[in-house]
């Protein structure tokens, strides 16, 4: 029991605080807003620490790499794993919804005409502008117009790219950069201690946050949305258990599975409670280390995966597409129809979901415009995004941890298995 308590103390405390928060939310409903500031304190503290944490961990981990070849190998392996696992996610999404009608409207023709009337005036104005907007926002996702913009979590992807360039530049500078590198490494240690202090407040913050979430969540949702949520939740749980166990097995065999499930619970609980992949970066990185993943791989894969690797969002994108397909009576029963869903599902998630603020809306606009649906249908997808946010974030977060194990196996090979042996 002592060993069990030592290993799962934080998890048990967090789960207990969230369950208590949920009970209060069910009982007091809207009145739980009185404790919202207590939950906001924790979330805000996590967001404040994200930018220095991402910059310091990525730049110092790259500067400490023994050879530039290792950086290239890590990045190449990360991109490969992201692409393969994303394709698996989109195929699972299609298989889960292809034979099920997420929504069954009585008159699809009336729906089409209704949306056509609402959107006719806007279509001509936005069609050419939207293409430019998507390209512009892609540029905005990877760059900022001023150095001060790097201090905002709204530009997390730009911060990561700058951190990579900064780390490479320190390596290029050689011995002359060593004093500065030591300063950054020291700063990184301090930031980690600040993070430790924040986690002491986590049970209170997460409990209050979850109480407000449950207390204010609307109960009057249409049958189609309820059906979508229930099916998505079932798919998410199955994907979480089956697919990530498979990834852990591929990475490290039976020992990989054991180590993965021993350390994945904390990131899972945090992801469900916060609904923020960015807020889970610190815990996710630490979990990867405990799974035998080396520091430089964990500190590269997790932040990059937070922006680019989103299994839950990709499956959710497919659910959004299939909801519209059912709503408007679109025929997709052909290889070209399936191929279109796969392409749109991947592009609408991987290309623009890296935009921290507004990325979801841009993704939904890509779905609508690429599949030819009226712009007035945007609120439909927004509602779906809201109700599946928690399980989607769970898959986004835990998928990064599983992927870090795959990258660790590809890059370190037998060394990774050796680390795995020690941790198990």
pLDDT computed for residue 390 by the predictor: 84
The set of residues, in sequence order, having a beta carbon less than 8 Å from that of 364 and lying 6+ positions away, is 320, 348, 378, 381, 382, 385
Over residues 358-365, the mean pLDDT reads 61
| Lowest-pLDDT choice from 160-169, 266-275, 297-306, 352-361 | 352-361
Residue in the structure block whose two tokens are 């150095």: 147
For the chain, report the end-to-end CA distance as a whole number of angstroms. Answer: 18
- Residue 203, helix vs strand vs coil: helix
pLDDT tens-digit series, residues 409-418: 888 887 777 7
**How far apart are alpha carbons 277 and 279 in whole angstroms?**
5
220 pLDDT above the threshold of 50:
no
88 pLDDT above the threshold of 90:
yes
Among residues of the chain, what percentage have pLDDT more than 90? 17
219 pLDDT above the threshold of 50:
no
**How far apart are alpha carbons 196 and 211 in whole angstroms?**
24
Alpha carbon separation from 331 to 10, 119, 400 (Å, rounded):
49, 22, 34
pLDDT computed for residue 260 by the predictor: 92
Concatenate the DSSP letters of all residues of 346-405 into one string: HHHHHTTTT-TTTHHHHHHHHHHHHHT--GGGHHHHHHHHHHTHHHHHHHHHHHHHHHHH
Residue in the structure block whose two tokens are 């941790």: 423
Over residues 125-140, the mean pLDDT reads 55
Q: What is the mean pLDDT of the chain?
A: 79
| Lowest-pLDDT choice from 146-150, 277-281, 289-293 | 277-281
Over residues 260-269, the mean pLDDT reads 90
User: Across the chain, which distance is largest between two alpha carbons, in Å?
Assistant: 72
Per the model's pLDDT, the better-predicted residue between 71 and 320 turns out to be 320
Over residues 341-352, the mean pLDDT reads 78
* Domains along the chain with CATH numbers: 10-423 (1.10.3860.10)
95 pLDDT above the threshold of 80:
yes
**Model confidence band, residue 356 (pLDDT cutoffs 50, 70, 90):** very low
- Kindly state the tokens that stand for 413: 């090979």
Instruction: Give the phi and the psi of residue 26 in degrees, each rounded to 5.
Output: -65, -35
- Kindly state the tokens that stand for 84: 């393969």
Helices marked H in 217-275: 223-238, 244-263, 265-274
pLDDT computed for residue 122 by the predictor: 46
| Lowest-pLDDT choice from 163-167, 258-262, 273-277 | 273-277
Give the Cβ contact number of residue 69 at 10 Å.
9
Closest CA to 313 of 40, 89, 92, 123: 89
pLDDT computed for residue 351 by the predictor: 60
Burial of 219 (0-12, 13-18, 19+ CB in 10 A): exposed
């Amino acid at each position: 029991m002592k060993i069990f308590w030592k290993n799962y103390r934080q998890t048990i405390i967090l789960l207990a605080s969230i369950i208590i928060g949920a009970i209060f939310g069910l009982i007091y409903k809207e009145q739980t807003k009185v404790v919202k500031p207590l939950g906001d304190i924790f979330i805000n503290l996590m967001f404040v620490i994200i930018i220095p944490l991402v910059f310091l961990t990525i730049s110092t981990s790259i500067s400490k790499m023994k050879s530039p070849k290792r950086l290239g190998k890590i990045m190449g392996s990360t991109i490969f794993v992201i692409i393969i696992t994303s394709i698996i996610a989109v195929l699972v999404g299609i298989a889960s919804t292809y034979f099920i009608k997420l929504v069954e409207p009585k008159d699809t023709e009336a729906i089409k005409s209704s949306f056509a009337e609402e959107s006719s005036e806007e279509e001509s104005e936005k069609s050419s502008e939207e293409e430019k907007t998507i390209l512009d926002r892609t540029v905005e996702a990877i760059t900022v117009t001023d150095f001060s913009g790097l201090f905002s979590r709204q530009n997390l992807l730009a911060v990561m790219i700058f951190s990579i360039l900064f780390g490479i530049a320190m390596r290029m500078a050689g011995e002359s950069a060593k004093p500065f590198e030591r300063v950054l490494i020291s700063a990184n240690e301090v930031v980690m201690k600040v993070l430790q202090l924040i986690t002491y407040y986590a049970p209170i913050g997460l409990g209050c946050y979850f109480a407000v979430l449950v207390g204010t969540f609307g109960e009057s949702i249409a049958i189609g949305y309820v059906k979508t949520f229930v099916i998505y939740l079932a798919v998410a749980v199955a994907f979480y258990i089956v697919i990530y166990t498979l990834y852990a097995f591929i990475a490290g065999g039976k020992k990989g599975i054991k180590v993965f499930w021993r350390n994945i619970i904390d990131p899972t609980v945090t992801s469900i409670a916060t609904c923020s992949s960015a807020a889970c970066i610190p815990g996710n990185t630490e979990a990867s280390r405990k799974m035998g993943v080396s520091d430089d791989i964990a500190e590269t894969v997790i932040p990059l995966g937070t922006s680019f690797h989103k299994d839950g969002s990709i499956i959710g994108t497919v659910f959004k597409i299939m909801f519209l397909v059912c709503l408007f009576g679109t025929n997709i029963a052909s290889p070209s129809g399936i191929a279109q869903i796969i392409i749109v599902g991947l592009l609408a998630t991987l290309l623009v979901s890296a935009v921290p603020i507004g990325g979801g809306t841009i993704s939904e606009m890509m779905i609508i415009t690429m599949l030819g649906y009226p712009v007035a249908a945007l609120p439909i997808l927004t509602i779906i995004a809201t109700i599946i946010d928690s399980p989607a974030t769970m898959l986004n977060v835990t998928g990064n941890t599983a992927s870090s194990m795959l990258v660790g196996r590809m890059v370190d090979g037998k060394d990774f298995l050796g680390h795995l042996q020690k941790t198990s």
